[in-house]
Amino acid sequence: MKKQLLLLTLLLSAVGVFAQGKTPYIIYNSKGRQVTYQKMIRILKEKDIVLFGEYHNNAIAHWLQLEVTKDLHQNRQMVLGAEMFEADNQDALNKYMEGKLSSRGLDSNARLWRNYATDYAPLVNYAKANQLPFIATNIPRKYAAMVSKGGFTRLDSLTAEEKKWIAPLPIAYDKNLPGYVKMMEMMAGHGSENMPKAQASKDATMAHFILRNLQAGSLFLHYNGSYHSDFYDGINWYLKREKPDLKYGTISTVSQKNIKSLLAENKGKADFIICVDEDMTNTY
């Protein structure tokens, strides 16, 4: 009897500790209601395209990107793609995936982000190990810089070869989309109206390469900064403009001091919102 009481006491103590335990993140739906990771996966596995919006230096977002990839892959054939690779680096990326380039060779032949080794290499290596296509979707930065300085018409001067790495011209643009309006507001008169056009050149190009590489029956999981897909804007707008009948899913990452309740400003950002404790360690 004493042993049974002792066991019961230990069990109750463990429950109490668990109840008081901390968690570094909580997942919410677009309306701000908490949802389980398992429910998020059940819903996303039925989509054609999923945009995973990250904070580029957020450790939780990067860890979950890999976990989401693995769990979706259990149910679906996958194509992966990322903002972090520019389209003209696709050849180098392909050679790495085929074992024709080492990791050092990839670093020498592609313009890798400074946090590639810690944050994106695990995704690329998962694709390599499982023979999944990995698509470089972003516009080469030098072309986005051209738009930033002189607008879309600057792209007309590119050669036919260079135009292979961007969305087809002319690029559609709606300056009244919330994301572009907010960008102008944040610049508070210190930036050119071409700045959101440069952002649009990235959004349009990513959407273009996502759709061009979407395979029948597969789920395309794309990793990008949250600002490229928040509020169903940016990449979403270009995707739905071309293929409105596909099934889309979105994830966003936000950071809050108190993660127990989603702030009003973060509601509606995506189908699923990963709310991370602001004290969580960043990767850079």
- pLDDT tier, 263 (very low <50, low <70, confident <90, very high otherwise): very high
Banded model confidence at residue 4, pLDDT cuts 50, 70, 90: very low
Quote the pTM value: 0.91
CATH architecture of the domain covering 23-90+132-277: 3-Layer(aba) Sandwich (3.40)
- Indicate whether 12 pLDDT > 60: no
Rounded CA-CA distance 179/183 in Å is 6
Asked if residue 238 has pLDDT above 60, the reply is yes
Helix (H, G, I), strand (E, B) or coil at 217: coil
Q: What is the largest CA-CA distance in the chain?
A: 86
DSSP state of 115: T
Question: What are the angstrom distances between the C-alpha of 169 and each of 90, 160, 233, 244?
Answer: 20, 11, 20, 20
Place of tokens 């001067």: 157
Report the run of H or E that residue 123 belongs to, with start and end: helix 121-129
Write down the pLDDT at residue 21: 64
* pLDDT for the residue 192: 87
E strands, the chain, are 25-29, 49-54, 77-86, 134-138, 218-225, 248-256, 272-277
Confidence of residue 188 (pLDDT cuts 50, 70, 90): confident
pLDDT-derived band at 3, boundaries 50, 70, 90: very low
